[in-house]
Amino acid sequence: MDQKSIEATKKLMMLLKDANLVGEYIRRFGLTINAKNIAEVKARKSGTKAPMAAVGPSQTLMARQAAIAAQNKANAEAIAAKAASSRPKGAPGAADAAEDDGEQDPIFETAVNCPICGHVGFVSYEQRAKSQQMVQTVFLVPVYTGAKGFKTVDYTRLAVAVCPKCLFASPDRKNFNYASFTGNSEEKSSLNVGVILALKDKIEERKELLPKALDNPDYFKRERSTEVAIESYRLAMARAMVEVELMQPYGYFKLGSYALKIAYIMKSDGQDETEIYREAIGYFEKSFAKSECQTDELEMQVVYLIVTLYIKLGDFTQANSYLSCFSKLITERQEAMKKNPSLNTHWIEKWQDRARFNWEERDNPEFFNK
């Protein structure tokens, strides 16, 4: 199926909201979207007679845009209403609600659509601008503190949005389809067509990973337990693994980063996170070996994280080995700078300094608890 066919099928799913109707439409009318034909297919299912008024090309476009805007608005309103009705007054997570102490909730809910199975209107949790102050752990996992007027919420637990129909998951809203800023159109997923098709092929595999979450839009709602938060990242890792299989940039980097967030959640819950650290090292080492990160900053972060993880696990030989990579990279870069003065060693030196600091603290038993 080419890209044009995929896009047409997605639009039909948005308009008809029923895979069987989409199949009937394509069998009868092909992939050309026509408002009159849409109405006829809907009318056949409902048992009513379709309107016969002619609809011109410009009217068709306007009708499609209006339908998308109306659906997105309805989805957002339904999600907000459900969230408000399911939480007691003043409860944590009530969007826009003030807490008893006067602090506002920094999290709000938006509706996103699945680029894989076409399911529309499920929840993605977003942070309000400037509502949380953020610092990072030594493993670069964000730790949030409420800014003035806002309460503190651990957004790491809520960051991954999950489609309840096919369990496609990502902490990046751009991986989903979602309403444009104006609400008159839909922004398409940033995933390329090859990844989308591969993820379609693996829907059944994902369903087997977490069958109890299927068709349950409340499974990943607030407040997420430790178990549910970890499951959301495991589903995101299933998506990232497909990206790795298709040799997409940053695939192993994403896997390692998701693993570190799982480790953070486990540690916050008092669980032993040692094995997930080992898993993360494997991903980051593959990322570095394949030079998959296409910017100096991220590639040097990878080396920094490998050094820090080996220190945490007490393998100082491996940690020192990777620490020495920074010096080698600086030497190589300085040679390249002789031919290309636009190059620099800024990011290498920055992450080398941070890795060295961690190395110097290797005998401090409290260092990783900060």
What is the secondary structure of 166-231 as a DSSP string? Answer: T--EES-GGGSEEE-SSSSSEEPPSS-HHHHHHHHHTHHHHHHH-GGGTT-TTTTPSSPPHHHHHH
* pLDDT band per the 50, 70, 90 thresholds, residue 6: low
| Beta bridge pairs of residue 125 | 109
Q: Check pLDDT > 90 for residue 62.
A: no
Q: Choose one of 201, 216, 240: the last residue of a domain.
A: 240
pLDDT at 23: 66
Query: Quick one: 86 and 175 in the same domain?
Result: yes
pLDDT of residue 35: 73
Among 332, 335, 329, 338, smallest CA distance to 297 is for 329
Across the range 332-349, mean pLDDT stands at 96
On average, the pLDDT of the chain sits at 84
Mean pLDDT of 250-260: 98
Indicate if 51 and 79 belong to the same structural domain: no
Predicted local distance difference test score (pLDDT) of residue 27: 64
Residue 68 lies in a domain: no
User: Tokens representing 320?
Assistant: 């020192």
Coil vs helix vs strand at 133:
strand
H/E element, 69: helix 57-86
For residue 149, CA distances in Å to 18, 130, 157, 193, 216 come to 44, 10, 21, 43, 34
Does 53 have pLDDT greater than 50? no
Q: Looking at residues 27-44, what average pLDDT do you find?
A: 72
Q: Residue 11 sits in which domain range?
A: 1-55
Q: Is the pLDDT of residue 9 over 80?
A: no
Choice between 43 and 169, residue whose per-residue pLDDT is larger: 169
Domain edge (last residue) among 240, 272, 290: 240
Q: Are 131 and 251 in contact (CB under 8 A)?
A: no
Give a yes or no: residue 278 inside a domain.
no
Same domain flag for 35 and 158: no
Q: Is the pLDDT of residue 343 over 70?
A: yes
156 and 215 both lie in a single domain: yes
47 domain residue, yes or no: yes
Question: Which one has a higher pLDDT value, 46 or 226?
Answer: 226
Residue 55 above 80 pLDDT? no
Same domain (yes/no): 80, 38: no
The predicted pLDDT at position 25 comes to 66
Q: In terms of domains, do 13 and 86 share one?
A: no
- Is 283 within 8 Å of 314 (Cβ atoms)? no
Q: Is residue 370 predicted with pLDDT exceeding 80?
A: no
17 within a domain of the structure (yes/no): yes
230 and 152, same structural domain? yes
Say what percent of the chain tops pLDDT 70.
Answer: 78
Is 293 a domain residue?
A: no
Q: Can you tell me the distance from the alpha carbon of 278 to that of 310, in angstroms, rounded to the nearest whole number?
A: 9
Closest-CA residue to 303 (of 279, 277, 321, 276): 321
Total of domains in the chain? 2
250: left (phi over 0), alpha (psi -120 to 50) or beta: left
Is 30 within a domain? yes
Concatenate the DSSP letters of all residues of 240-295 into one string: HHHHHHTT-TTHHHHHHHHHHHHHHHHHHTT---HHHHHHHHHHHHHHHHTT---S
Shared domain check, 178 and 120? yes
Say if 327 falls within a structural domain: no
Q: Are 164 and 216 in contact (CB under 8 A)?
A: yes
Note the maximum CA span of the chain: 80
Position 325 pLDDT exceeds 60: yes
Per-residue pLDDT for 216 more than 70?
yes
Confidence of residue 95 (pLDDT cuts 50, 70, 90): very low
Give the SS3 label for residue 51.
coil
What pLDDT does residue 148 have?
87
Residue among 368, 277, 257, 265 nearest 318 (CA): 277
| Cα separation of the two ends of the chain | 51
How many residues in total does the chain contain? 370
The region of weakest confidence among 32-46, 146-160, 263-277 is 32-46
Shared domain check, 162 and 42: no
Residue-level pLDDT at 336: 96
Q: Say what the pLDDT of residue 11 is.
A: 72
Band (pLDDT 50/70/90 cuts) for residue 34 is confident
350 lies in some domain: no
Percent of the residues in the chain that have a pLDDT greater than 90, as a whole number: 67
Q: Kindly give, in sequence order, each residue whose CB lies less than 8 Å from that of residue 353, ignoring residues fewer than 6 positions away.
A: none
Quick one: 122 and 205 in the same domain? yes
Out of 212, 240, 268, a domain closes at 240
- The predicted pLDDT at position 238 comes to 97
The secondary structure of the chain in percent helix, strand, coil, rounded to multiples of 5, reads 55, 10, 35
Are 51 and 80 within one domain? no
Q: Is 208 exposed, middle or buried (0-12, 13-18, 19+ CB in 10 A)?
A: exposed
On whether both 221 and 94 belong to a single domain, the answer is yes
Give the pLDDT band of residue 268 (cuts 50, 70, 90). Answer: very high
Question: For residue 4, what pLDDT band results from cuts at 50, 70 and 90?
Answer: low
Residue 84 pLDDT exceeds 50: no
| Residue among 174, 198, 199 at smallest CA distance from 188 | 174
